[in-house]
Structure 1
Amino acid sequence: MDPEEEPPSLLWGLDPVFCAFARLYVRDILQMTESAQVPGIFFYNLHPIFKVDVLGTVVYRREREDFFCYGVDDGTGVINCLCWKSEQLKEEGEDPSKSGGKRSDAAQGGFDPVAELTKLKRAQRERRCVEIGELLRVRGPVKTSRYREREITASAFYKVDDPVMAVQISWMMEVPQLYRECYDKPFQLQPDAAGDSSVSSLSRAINTIKDFLQQKSVSRFRPYDVQDLLEPLISRPPQTASADQEPVAGPSVCGQLRQLLKEALKSLVDEGIVYRKVKSQDEVYLVTAQDKDLLMAVKDVIREDSKREKYAEKGCHILHILSAVRQRFSLNVSREALELVLKSLECNSDIISTSDSHYTAF
């Protein structure tokens, strides 16, 4: 990456990915470019990253006096993980079974805190001693070793017991969604101190309308219902000092307000938060999450088509559901709006997702 393309370090904290353990594929961790401003910070799609969260199979294991080196393979690549030993693991000469023998006899038939502590230490030791072929989860900052190889210095690591692969399946479903919704969208902020006033006004307008729809539980509205809410966001022209001065030419306040409202509504439609069931001169916008008719239409499509032999095993694909809803309900339903409806129905246990893009009814 060209150093000039990096966002200034003062803006990194505005990206939520910077403060989180990013669940990236090992392939992407190995290919990330290191920052030219601050060593130890890496960039993926302009997202500043220094902490990652990895789940994979141990393919090699090396032990030293103070740490373990595990090679973790998540299916896209192998990365070295440096895992420091705890004090309990370093005390190899201590035999937990010999400690507190007399107390155990005295406490026979009751609760023995020494014996329970011994069991806890043994369980902790077993969870931290990982063998080749076992599943390991590692969280920590990314480093570049002295051999110029990328590795993870673990701040936390543990063996994952996953006999039916439930954890791995859940992981494989969550990570692609994080990529779509976050990592694959570049981090875009204006680096200048003044910022872009038009972008700032648009984002504030969108948030203002969202707050209004949520607080009032609005199911439908027209543009003039929310137009007054955006009036404080319009910058008014400065007052002329005297009558001799001519006013500065530029768009009127009403024109700016209408343009801002138009752009805000377009962004809300693109996000799927609102939609228009019928496009006519009477602009009526329906709130996707509050439209019971749309929720019922999607639910009926999934319930009816899931009974067909073609979709009985895996469920209905999202594109099939979208096509059916457009034919039976409205041509203006977008995929983004449908995804919000599917998420709402799944949260209410009306439907269940059988894969990343397939849904079936209970």
Structure 2
Amino acid sequence: MDLPAFWALDPLLKTHVKIFTADIERLSNIPDYHEQFPDLYKFDTRIISNVEIAGTIVGLEQNNTMIIYTVDDGFGTIPCCNWAVRTYAEPEFELGQSVRVLGRISDYKNQRQINIHEIYRMVDYNMEILHWLQTIRLRESVYSKPFDIPKDILAHKDELVAMLKTMDQDMIMESEDSQTQEEDIEIPDEQAFLDTLYKYIEDLAVDGKIEYRAIPRLPAIQKIARQYLTNSIPAASIDYNKIKLAIRQAFATLCADGSLFVVDAENDIYEIVRLDGQLRELILSIIRDVHVDQHDIHHGGVTGAYITTKVKEDSRFESISWSKVFEALQLLVLESIIYQVNPHEYSLIQ
């Protein structure tokens, strides 16, 4: 299909497509639309986002945000990330168990993975063979055949596309009258856009968490995104999709620099890295857990370099900068929770 506006008409787009891991690895992003739709993939003639696999757990890794099961289906292996777990909860599944996994495909650090929606234990090993047979049959009878847009829609495709664009534009201009008296914010470059967007996110966050889906629809954020985009493209060409893409890229940048981290990939929920929140608790636990015989410890203090290294081992903060860790340390010093034993060495106040 070469009409993105109508891709969602294909029921396979949100179906958990039965597939082999080797085929998942070969999936490609959609030509010309990769940046706009990074989580959609071309499978034969169809576009998909969700898959179902069946196999054996051959690897298990756990951190404080998720459990990663590596599943082998006989055709290859793939990491399956379960975000819907409590911090360091006991893994529900063990090595060697046969499971059926349903989830969304994604790419992380150039590696294909599945973000788990549901995972089930298979007590009958014949279920895996049944999955193979169903997968082969469905590929022959369904997946390999192109989806045909209904003729009535094709007959009026130009009018429908124009209507959708008008709806997008209306969404962008929504509540503009209420904003006419607001003072304009200058967005001269990307950094200004990131800084302004982050301030909005901080104000909107509930318990430090923010759901991405709600952000692009907010008129105030649409306004700053539009101002930012006009630095590089004509204002007349800016539509809702370009605004969504700019905001999505900004979220990725804020995650990369350690300002945000993902807490629920499936529901697109992020959490702000707050100096008085999770970062603070992690730093305190690092200092508490340090043994005096470690090479980074001098006279009972823990070096800032050691603390930063340990903080970065946590997947939530792997991109955090030393300066942000230092800010959190200084805040803890000001609150008299820790003190500086020597320059850049810290200890708990007993």
TM-score using structure 1 length = 0.39
Higher Cα radius of gyration = 1
Higher strand share: 2
